[in-house]
Structure 1
């Protein structure tokens, strides 16, 4: 049963890629994602339309290319250390992905601000104005920051 991807589904999909070890294929990834989402099936084409998922996929492929991550780091029998190493690896991968997403968003904002200033004559002060929410119940409108 297919349904639209929610923000939560997308977040889960990129977290799975952040922690991926071993061989990464669309077939394996789609199967694991369906399991994690309680049987909800998505297609490769549908997931590739989501920029965050596609970016996370490409980063995971580059990270795993030619690596021996599937073998893991020997833990000398200490399960707690092995678990902490796994957590650290996942967090580093997630951090790298989030840094890339942030950079992409900053570039998009700069492009929008530039185009707004050029095409419509808007200034940065106009772009930075707070959003005014319509008042309710006779109260004054309030600004959202």
Structure 2
């Protein structure tokens, strides 16, 4: 049976991809192993389960992009330990930033679709902007 992932699990997996070591080849199998070891999700979700989640698939694809490979080839020069740590952190943040920009673009596209459908079906701006109802306790 396929494992269902919570929003927190998805966020943790995407974060794991953001900080994937640039000197390690990324494969679905290695990602599943890392999820099991680092996030302690046992049994680890399968490749098929992970690919069903758009955020995970997008982050994985972003991590596999050729531009990341270019960054890997630039890291071969000798650096002091403190600069190497800083460089690794900067590279991870650049990957995370690129992923977040891609996610934001996808959300904006989704918003345009919703906006069009709301107009098409006569849902007013006032209705769309109504606050969420509060739970009665």
TM-score w.r.t. length of structure 1? 0.79
Which residue does 2:75 correspond to in 1?
A: 72
Which residue does 2:36 correspond to in 1?
A: 34
Which residue does 1:12 correspond to in 2?
A: 12
Q: CA RMSD in A?
A: 2.2
Inter-partner Cα distance in structure 2 for 1:112 and 1:128? 13
Which residue does 1:128 correspond to in 2?
A: 129
Runs of 4+ in 1 over 3 A off after TM superposition: 63-68
Structure 2 unaligned regions, length at least 5 = none
Report which structure shows greater RCO (CA 8 Å, sep ≥6): 2
Inter-partner Cα distance in structure 2 for 1:39 and 1:125? 43
Counterpart selection for 2:98 from 85, 96, 99: 96
Inter-partner Cα distance in structure 2 for 1:105 and 1:85? 30
Q: Check whether the contact 1:23–1:70 (CA below 8 A) recurs between aligned residues.
A: no
Structure 1 unaligned regions, length at least 5 = 137-145
- Whose Rg is larger? 1
Inter-partner Cα distance in structure 1 for 2:5 and 2:111? 24
Instruction: Specify which structure has the higher proportion of strand.
Output: 1
Distance 1:63 1:17, change over 3 A: farther
